C-alpha cells in the first residue's frame, strides 16, 4: 500500500469529508455532475453525423472511423492515469487539466477539415474521460456521508445523461448549422465547467504517497492501445488478419510485463494486489458487461428509428426525432439516482447493482418484440435507462467501499476503463453482427431486423453474465449503513470510531 505523506490525510487517518463538513458543499455535486455531462456530450456529439464523416473529411469510410477510435483510445489511456495523478497531486487540479485538454482538442477540431488534424483533436478530447473518476474521488473526499451515495450515483450516471441529451441536440445542430458548430459548443461547455469548478469545488486534502509511475503509465498505455485497437478495427482488418492477431499478441506480452513490473513497485500506477481483491475484481468484470449493455442500445435504436419504412421494419424518423426517442435513456438514468440511494442504504450497493442488471435484461428482452413503433423505442429507452442508471450508480460505491481513500482516483479510473472496454467490445461485436446480417436495399446495404434482434440477444446475454458475476460480490450492507449515518447522529463519533479501523465496515 502506498504510504501517506505526513501533511495530508489518507485512509489511515480520519475519514475524508470530516473537515469539509465545516464548509458548504452544496454546489459541488451539480458542478461535478455537469463536468460529467460535458464529457458525455463530447463523446456523443459526432454520433448523428457518423455516416457523413467520409464526405465531410474527404476521406474513405475506413479512415473516417479513426475520428471515433482516437477518442476511445485516448480516453482509455487517460482514465487510469489521470485518476492516479489526482491521487498524488490533487483531484481538482487534474479535473481542470482534463477539461482544459478537452477544450483545446475541441477548438482544434472546430477549425479543421483535415483528417489527421481532426484525429489529433479528437484524441485530445478523449482525455476528458478522466473527469468521471476524478469527480467521484472529490465527492468521497469532500461530502458528508449522508450525501455521498446519491452524489456518486449522479456522477456515475452523468455519462448517460449527457449522451441522452446530446443526441437530439447534436442532431438539431447538424441539420441546421455547420457541423463545426458542434465542436465550438463542446469547447464552450468545457470552459463553463472549468469556471464552475474553480468557483465551487475545493481541492481535496487526501493524497497518496510516492511518485508518479511514468514507466507504468507508458506500459499501460502501450498495452491498452495494442488491445483496444484490434477490438475496434478488427471487423475492418479481419479478425484473423496478421495485424489483428499480432496486436492482440503484443497486448498480452506488454500487459503481462507491465503487471510483473507493477507488482514489484512500492508506489505503482495501479495497485494490482488491491485490484485482484474479490470485490474490486468482480466489480470491474461486471462493469465490462454493463458497458456492453449501455453501448448496445445506442448503436441499435437510432439506426432502427432512422431506417426508411420501405424496408418493412424501419420507422422512418428524422435524425432529431430519433435522438429524442433515445433521450429518455439518459434522463431516466439521472432520475433513478435517489432510488439507488434508498436501495443501497437499505440493502447495500450489491443489491442495487443486481436489481439494475435484472431491469436491463428485462428491457432488452422486451426489445426483441417491441420494434414496430417509435413509442416502443421510448419505452425500451426508459426501462434500459432505469436499469443502467442503477447499475452505474452502484459501481463506484462498490469500488470506494473496497479501497483506501488515497487510492480512490486510481481505482475508479480503472473501473471507468473497464466500462470503456465494455463499450469497445460492444461496438466491435454488434457492428460486426449488423454488417454481416445486412440486406441490400437500393445502392447500399442496411442492417436487417434479424441483425437487430441478434444484437439484443447479445446484450441480454452480457447482462445476464454480469448478473451471475455480481452474485460473487460480498455483502456491503453494513458499510452502506455506515456511509449513510446522518450528521445529526454525530459525525465526530463516526469519524473517531472509523479512524481506528477505516476498512472494518467494508470487510463485512
> How do residues 48-83 score in pLDDT, each as one tens digit?
788 788 889 988 877 888 888 888 888 888 888 888
Q: Which residues touch 468 (CB under 8 Å, ≥6 apart)?
A: none
Q: How far apart are CA 203 and CA 66, in angstroms?
A: 36
Q: How far apart are CA 94 and CA 102, in angstroms?
A: 12
> Residue 14 phi/psi, 5° resolution?
-55, 145
pLDDT of residue 26: 65
pLDDT of residue 336: 83
Mean pLDDT of 422-431: 83
Q: Does the structure show a pLDDT above 90 at 5?
A: no
pLDDT of residue 501: 38
What is the helix (H) or strand (E) element at residue 445, kind and residue range?
strand 444-446
pLDDT of residue 491: 40
- Residue carrying C-alpha cell 487517460: 78
Q: How far apart are CA 459 and CA 362, in angstroms?
A: 11
Instruction: Sort 24 into a burial class: Cβ within 10 Å, 0-12 / 13-18 / 19+.
Output: exposed
pLDDT of residue 375: 93
Q: How far apart are CA 344 and CA 495, in angstroms?
A: 21
> What does pLDDT average to over the chain?
82
Which grid coordinates are listed for 292?
A: 456492453
Mean pLDDT of 365-370: 89
Q: How far apart are CA 444 and CA 311, in angstroms?
A: 12
Q: Does the structure show a pLDDT above 90 at 192?
A: yes
> How do residues 284-309 score in pLDDT, each as one tens digit?
999 999 888 888 888 888 888 988 88
> How do residues 253-282 score in pLDDT, each as one tens digit?
999 999 999 888 887 888 888 888 888 899
| pLDDT classification of 150: cutoffs 50, 70, 90 | confident
pLDDT of residue 458: 92
| pLDDT classification of 1: cutoffs 50, 70, 90 | very low
The SS3 call for residue 439 is: strand
The SS3 call for residue 444 is: strand
Mean pLDDT of 450-468: 92
Q: Does the structure show a pLDDT above 70 at 217?
A: yes
Q: What is the pTM (predicted TM-score) of this model?
A: 0.77
The SS3 call for residue 277 is: coil
| pLDDT classification of 7: cutoffs 50, 70, 90 | very low
Q: Does the structure show a pLDDT above 50 at 3?
A: no
pLDDT of residue 218: 92
Identity of the highest mean pLDDT range in 107-116, 132-141, 232-241, 397-406: 107-116
Which grid coordinates are listed for 377?
A: 423505442
Decide: 151 and 111 in contact? Cβ < 8 Å.
no
The residue among 318, 268, 312, 316 whose CA lies nearest residue 167 is 318
pLDDT of residue 442: 61
Q: How far apart are CA 39 and CA 95, in angstroms?
A: 11
Which grid coordinates are listed for 288?
A: 465490462
The more confidently predicted of residues 96 and 446 is 96
Q: How far apart are CA 164 and CA 170, in angstroms?
A: 10
Percent of the chain scored above 70 by pLDDT?
88
Q: Does the structure show a pLDDT above 70 at 436?
A: yes
pLDDT of residue 146: 77
Q: How far apart are CA 375 and CA 368, in angstroms?
A: 15
The SS3 call for residue 440 is: strand
pLDDT of residue 476: 54
> How do residues 315-344 score in pLDDT, each as one tens digit?
988 888 888 888 888 888 878 877 887 888
> How do residues 9-23 score in pLDDT, each as one tens digit?
444 333 444 444 434
| pLDDT classification of 489: cutoffs 50, 70, 90 | very low
| pLDDT classification of 84: cutoffs 50, 70, 90 | confident
Sign of CA dihedral 65, 70, 72, 73: positive
The residue among 423, 422, 448, 426 whose CA lies nearest residue 435 is 448
Could you tell me the end-to-end alpha-carbon distance of the chain, in angstroms, rounded to an integer?
21
The more confidently predicted of residues 491 and 63 is 63
Amino acid at each position: 500500500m502506498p504510504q501517506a505523506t505526513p501533511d495530508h490525510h489518507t485512509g489511515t487517518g480520519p475519514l475524508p469529508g470530516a473537515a469539509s463538513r465545516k464548509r458548504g458543499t452544496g454546489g459541488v455535486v451539480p458542478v461535478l455532475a455537469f463536468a460529467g455531462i460535458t464529457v458525455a456530450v463530447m463523446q456523443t456529439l459526432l454520433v448523428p453525423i457518423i455516416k457523413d464523416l467520409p464526405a465531410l473529411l474527404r476521406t474513405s469510410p475506413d479512415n473516417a472511423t479513426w475520428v471515433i477510435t482516437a477518442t476511445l483510445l485516448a480516453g482509455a489511456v487517460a482514465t487510469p492515469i489521470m485518476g492516479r495523478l489526482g491521487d498524488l497531486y490533487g483531484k481538482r487540479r487534474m479535473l481542470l487539466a482534463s477539461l482544459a485538454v478537452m477544450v483545446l482538442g475541441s477548438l482544434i477540431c472546430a477549425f479543421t477539415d483535415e483528417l489527421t488534424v481532426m484525429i489529433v483533436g479528437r484524441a485530445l478530447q478523449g482525455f476528458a474521460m478522466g473527469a468521471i473518476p476524478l469527480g467521484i474521488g472529490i465527492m468521497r473526499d469532500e461530502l458528508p456521508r449522508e450525501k455521498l451515495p446519491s452524489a456518486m450515483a449522479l456522477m456515475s450516471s452523468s455519462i448517460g445523461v449527457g449522451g441522452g441529451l446530446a443526441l437530439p441536440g447534436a442532431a438539431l445542430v447538424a441539420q441546421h448549422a455547420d457541423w463545426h458548430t458542434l465542436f465550438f459548443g463542446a469547447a464552450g461547455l468545457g470552459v463553463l465547467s472549468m469556471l464552475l469548478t474553480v468557483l465551487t469545488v475545493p481541492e481535496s486534502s487526501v493524497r497518496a504517497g510516492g511518485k508518479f509511475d511514468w514507466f507504468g503509465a507508458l506500459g499501460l498505455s502501450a498495452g491498452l492501445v495494442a488491445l483496444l485497437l484490434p477490438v475496434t478495427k478488427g471487423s475492418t482488418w479481419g479478425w484473423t488478419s496478421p495485424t489483428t492477431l499480432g496486436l492482440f499478441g503484443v497486448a498480452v506480452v506488454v500487459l503481462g510485463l507491465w503487471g510483473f513490473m507493477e507488482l514489484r513497485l512500492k508506489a505503482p500506477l495501479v495497485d494490482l494486489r488491491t485490484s485482484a481483491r474479490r470485490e474490486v475484481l468482480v466489480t470491474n468484470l461486471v462493469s465490462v458487461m454493463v458497458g456492453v449493455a449501455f453501448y448496445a442500445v445506442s448503436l441499435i435504436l437510432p439506426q432502427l428509428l432512422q431506417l426508411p419504412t420501405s424496408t418493412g421494419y424501419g420507422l422512418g424518423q428524422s435524425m432529431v426525432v430519433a435522438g429524442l426517442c433515445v433521450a429518455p435513456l439518459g434522463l431516466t438514468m439521472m432520475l433513478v439516482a435517489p432510488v439507488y440511494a434508498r436501495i443501497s442504504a437499505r440493502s447495500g450497493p450489491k443489491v442495487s447493482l443486481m436489481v439494475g442488471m435484472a431491469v436491463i435484461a428485462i428491457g432488452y428482452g422486451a426489445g426483441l418484440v417491441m420494434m414496430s413503433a417509435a413509442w416502443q423505442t421510448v419505452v425500451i429507452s426508459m426501462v434500459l435507462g432505469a436499469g443502467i442508471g442503477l447499475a452505474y450508480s452502484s459501481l463506484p460505491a462498490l469500488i470506494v467501499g473496497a479501497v483506501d481513500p488515497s487510492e480512490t482516483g486510481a481505482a475508479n479510473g480503472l473501473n471507468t476503463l473497464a466500462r470503456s472496454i465494455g463499450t469497445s467490445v460492444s461496438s466491435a461485436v454488434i457492428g460486426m453482427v449488423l454488417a454481416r446480417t445486412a440486406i441490400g436495399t437500393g445502392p447500399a446495404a442496411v442492417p436487417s431486423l434479424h441483425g437487430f434482434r441478434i444484437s439484443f440477444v447479445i446484450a441480454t446475454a452480457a447482462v445476464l453474465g454480469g448478473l451471475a458475476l455480481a452474485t460473487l460480490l460480498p455483502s456491503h450492507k453494513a458499510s452502506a449503513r455506515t456511509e449513510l449515518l446522518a450528521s445529526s447522529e454525530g459525525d465526530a463519533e463516526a469519524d473517531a470510531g472509523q479512524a481506528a479501523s477505516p476498512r472494518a465496515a467494508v470487510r463485512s
